[in-house]
């Protein structure tokens, strides 16, 4: 997605050979106009998949996911990373190792909000080693619902997550694919993958 790539070049900062910071439009401040276009792009890419629900992980997945949900006219459920006082019963859980925080979180979703008849699109902000996506797949699978695909805003193609998920047969669509962050420079992958 051209606009997203331009935004990454203009505002992204490379923190290391493997971490990109995009706090000005996705991970802290949010650019709602760009999020709207991201939501529309996900909606277009998964239009033929009969999606009934979108599932993401708090907090940075919520902005792109809510825009996709709005465009696709389906509800959004976000998995929580921390225990909630009000959400205690009927919880589905999975352990997720966080690439950026270097800690394991138990993520939770109430079983109330995913039915086995659902056809779920998983959305997240970044794809690195695939732990977050695997955790969400794990939780959705516990409900018996189907997984229609995985939509990622920024995939780091030099890490293994995308390959692993595609090898498992999931349709993974990424709106920007980074080939490298070496030497403080962002390079995009040329080939389109679906
Ligand atoms: P994975 O679980 O695929 O290893 O990593 C994906 C998760 O880690 C995303 O939910 C995202 O929050 C975070 N993440 C991974 N790599 C980056 C990165 O380069 N920049 C930012 N801002 N977040 C990242």
Q: For position 92, which CATH number holds? A: 3.40.50.2020
Ligand 1 atom, smallest distance to 128 CA:
3
Number of structural domains the chain divides into: 1
At residue 155, φ and ψ (nearest 5 deg) are -100, 130
Q: Which domain holds residue 161?
A: 2-188
Residue 157 has pLDDT above 90, yes or no: yes
What percent of the chain stands above pLDDT 70?
A: 97
Residue 194 has pLDDT above 50, yes or no: no
Residue 121 has pLDDT above 70, yes or no: yes
User: Is 62 part of any domain?
Assistant: yes
Residue 60 has pLDDT above 90, yes or no: yes
User: Is 194 part of any domain?
Assistant: no
User: Is 193 part of any domain?
Assistant: no
- How many angstroms separate the alpha carbon of residue 99 from the centre of ligand 1? 6
- What is the average per-residue pLDDT within 168-187? 97
Rg of the chain on CA atoms, in Å: 16
| pTM of the entire predicted model | 0.96
Nearest CA to ligand 1 atom 12: 126
- How many angstroms separate the alpha carbon of residue 95 from the centre of ligand 1? 15
CA distances from 135 to 14, 17, 93 (A): 26, 25, 8
Residue carrying structure tokens 């802290």: 28
- How many angstroms separate the alpha carbon of residue 126 from the centre of ligand 1? 5
Report the relative pairing of strands 53-57 and 119-127 from DSSP bridges: parallel
CB-CB contact of 21 with 13 (8 Å): yes
At residue 104, φ and ψ (nearest 5 deg) are -100, 130
- For residue 193, what pLDDT band results from cuts at 50, 70 and 90? low
């Amino acid at each position: 997605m051209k606009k997203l790539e331009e935004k990454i070049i203009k505002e992204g900062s490379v923190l290391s050979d493997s971490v990109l910071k995009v706090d000005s439009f996705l991970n802290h401040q949010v650019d709602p106009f760009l999020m709207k276009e991201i939501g529309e792009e996900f909606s277009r890419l998964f239009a033929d998949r009969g999606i009934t629900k979108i599932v993401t992980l708090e907090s940075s997945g919520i902005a792109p996911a809510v825009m996709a949900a709005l465009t696709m006219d389906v509800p959004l459920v976000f998995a929580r990373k921390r225990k909630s006082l009000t959400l205690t019963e009927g919880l589905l859980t999975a352990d997720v190792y966080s690439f950026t925080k270097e800690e394991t979180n138990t993520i939770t979703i109430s079983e109330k909000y995913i039915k086995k008849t659902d056809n779920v699109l998983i959305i997240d902000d970044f794809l690195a080693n695939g732990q977050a996506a695997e955790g969400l797949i794990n939780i959705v699978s516990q409900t018996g619902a189907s997984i229609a695909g995985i939509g990622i805003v920024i995939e780091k193609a030099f890490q293994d997550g995308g390959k692993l998920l595609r090898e498992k047969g999931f349709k993974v669509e990424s709106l920007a694919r980074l080939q490298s962050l070496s030497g403080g420079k962002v390079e995009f992958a040329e080939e389109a993958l679906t």
